[in-house]
Amino acid sequence: MIPISFNYKKASSVDEALSLMTDDAKILGGGHSLIPALKLRLNSVDTLIDISKIENIKGINDNAQSVTVGGGATHASIASNSALAKAAPMMAEAAHTIGDRQVRNMGTIGGSIAHADPAADWPAVLLASDANVVIKNKTGQREVDIDQFFTGFYETALADGEIITAIRIPKTAYNANSVYEKFKQPASRFAIVGIAAAAEMDGNVVKALRIGVTGLAEVAFRPMEVEKELIGKELTEANIDAALGTIANGVSVMGDHYASEKYRTHLAKVYTKRALLRLK
């Protein structure tokens, strides 16, 4: 389908993009969620402000305490980044599973988390990593803890007109020991269920654990009862099975013609177990 007509402006800096922002304008990142939505007329917009050519939000910087991923970094650039592969291997694993080559080359991490599709991969990974989201607006800059970022079905803590300029991934022992497991929708490759898990181990025993779940509920979340249950324990099959009963506690599980609520909950347990058994 053809979208309703709109104006198009290309920004060469974040400040320029912010100055172009009006109530009826929208940011265009890689366009791999927004353009399909416009074509299907699920969304309409007066002006698109293209930020895809702003170089200083596309990079990935290896700092002392964190790796800073630009809001405009593509999935493909994250998949091939060596600093992230060491600091948070689940990032590269997840990036490789997103869509196809074209989607990975165009789509961005900032666009993905701003869109907050309940089946997207980054929300699970960033929740597991304890990331911070760096956001710019016309009056300055703020940082939002990832645990406060995803607020509902396609809803986030972003206010109208704000731009995600970076995501900080802390360099922690648990992020260095992290994995991503996903059961893909075979056509779109979105997650029916996606599980990111990051653990700091003290010998064979879990010292710190963060798990991010996507695809299961209307918003990505951390199953905190499962995390707590496994602290101080070995990641044996028996301990994991005993902890997984609470994985869907407190969330509204999604179901559709492809995967019912019961099947999705079952998959969440199977894929969380797979992820946890891979942690060292």
Which of 44, 63, 82, 188 is the binder for ligand FAD (CB under 6 A)?
188
CB of 277 to ligand FAD, least distance (A): 23
- Among residues 102 and 204, whose Cβ is nearest to ligand FAD? 102
Site for ligand FAD contains 31 (CB under 6 A):
yes
Site for ligand FAD contains 116 (CB under 6 A):
no
Residue closest to 163 by CA, chosen among 179, 140, 181, 130:
140
Site for ligand FAD contains 223 (CB under 6 A):
no
Site for ligand FAD contains 134 (CB under 6 A):
no
Site for ligand FAD contains 161 (CB under 6 A):
no
**Candidate ranges 59-67, 117-125, 230-238, 247-255; the one touching ligand FAD (CB under 6 A):** 117-125
Dist. CA 219–CA 28, nearest whole Å: 23
The two structure tokens encoding residue 20: 């172009």
Report 232-261 residues binding ligand FAD (CB under 6 A).
none
- The DSSP code sequence of 4-69 is PP-EEEE-SSHHHHHHH--TTEEEESS-TTHHHHHHTTS---SEEEE-TT-GGGT-EEE-SSEEEE
Of the CA atoms within 13 Å of residue 218, those in its CB half-sphere come to: 9
Tally the residues of the chain: 280
Site for ligand FAD contains 212 (CB under 6 A):
no
Question: Which positions lie near ligand FAD, rule CB under 6 A?
Answer: 26-34, 36, 71-72, 98-99, 103, 107-108, 110-112, 114-115, 117, 120-122, 163-164, 188-190
